[in-house]
Structure 1
Amino acid sequence: MKILVAYYSMYGHIHRMAGAVAEGAGQVEGAGVKVCRVPETLPEEVIEKMGAKESQKAMAHVPVCTVEDLVEADAVIFGTPTRFGNMCGQMRQFLDSTGQLWVKGSLVGKVGSVFVSSNTQHGGQESTILSFHITLLHHGMVIVGLPYAFEGQMRMDEITGGSPYGASTIAGARGERTPSENELAAARYQGRHVAEIASKLAK
């Protein structure tokens, strides 16, 4: 059983969450996990002006996704930062390149799931995940979220991401906040949950 974690990360927050998602998925017996980044669309000089050059270097070892990676996977867990309540442009462009997969029905019946980040506590995390689901539904994927069985999303003692739609993290207005342990636990739970569902479907 193959689990793909496909993400885009500008400053490393989603990169960190992707690692936790992969860790959780890897806890399921028989699950092989691959982590990859969707292709960058911004010129290097723009990335430098945005102050993301060093964080991009730190992620350079992660292989770049191809549409074939989606075909080979039994489940795909997508990670994206929020851009005005939607997925980032890099992820949108990658998904827009999957038209031939749609024509062939290559993703029908595969598990799809989403995790996100935003700068602020109410920065469009839920709308990003829900609007992302539209594309997955067009591909015929079976959507899996983050159930309330993960009790960490019920916490009231700290500011935290996470909803029944998927794990999430709050980056801070200047990207100064790193994913909390509760947010990473949510990501691990989601990864494991998706792998378990994929395993049941495979049987």
Structure 2
Amino acid sequence: MSTKVKVIFYSLYGHIYQMAEAVAAGAREAGAEVELLQVQETLSDDIIAKMGATEAKKAFAHVPIADPKKLAEADAIIFGTGTRYGSATAQMQTFFDATGGLWTTGALVGKVGGVFTSTASQHGGQETTLISMQTFLFHQGMVVVGVPYAAQELLNMKEITGGSPYGATTITDAQGQRLPSENELAIARYQGKHTAQIAAKVAAK
């Protein structure tokens, strides 16, 4: 029976969506059954339009909305979101806050979890966002998996790049002009594959 992985993201301009696709591809490479989902948007269409994100969001409008009640169906869950002042977006935090029932019953205890993110600048709070998101995983009793330095792309010093041992990351630039690089996408794929492999081992015990 294949390992079930849910990749759940919040994206506004599409950067995290691209990273989520890479994470999902890596998990599939490991033989996992992968479900790509997005969290519910909390901004109105008018606000999204004023932020210039209407067209960008059309690219992933087909992705189903994640149901927090169904998280326990997965062996592994990998969450991705942009950064807001060194923490997860309000949309992702709202999703986390809707999982109280799972916490009460211990439904996610022993599941494998991971996180990934994006920032506008090189030092825009990527690691604090990843670590703050991981606290949710710890509170749910999950086995937290990051990106080991076996992913050689983490050691790339020839270009500006995201990526950390806490999770895959990308840098978008101030106006979102920069899309995830091949190096960043490779780290995301590694994270998906590595997490799925760990989840398979945990599920087999």
TM-score range (shorter-chain normalised) is: over 0.9
CA distance in 2, matches of 1:101, 1:78: 16
Tell me which residue corresponds to 1:155: 156
1:1-203 alignment runs, 5 A limit: 1-29=3-31, 31-203=32-204
Alignment deviations for residues 56-102 of structure 1 (CA, whole Å, 9 cap, x no partner): 11111000000133111110000010110000000000100000000
Alignment deviations for residues 142-177 of structure 1 (CA, whole Å, 9 cap, x no partner): 000000000111111100000110110000110000
CA distance in 1, matches of 2:135, 2:24: 23
Query: TM-score with structure 2 length normalisation?
Result: 0.97
Q: Is the 8 A contact 2:77 2:113 kept in 1?
A: yes
Identity %: 57
1:23 Cα deviation from its structure 2 partner: 0.3
CA distance in 2, matches of 1:48, 1:69: 31
DSSP-derived class of the 2:29 partner: coil
DSSP-derived class of the 1:65 partner: coil
1:126 Cα deviation from its structure 2 partner: 0.3
Could you list the runs of 5+ residues in structure 2 that have no partner in the other structure?
Answer: none
CA distance in 1, matches of 2:154, 2:46: 39
Q: Is the 8 A contact 2:117 2:169 kept in 1?
A: yes
Q: Is the 8 A contact 1:4 1:69 kept in 2?
A: no
Superposed CA RMSD: 0.6
CA distance in 2, matches of 1:17, 1:82: 14
CA distance in 2, matches of 1:202, 1:110: 8
DSSP-derived class of the 2:24 partner: helix
Could you list the runs of 5+ residues in structure 1 that have no partner in the other structure?
Answer: none
CA distance in 1, matches of 2:173, 2:56: 16
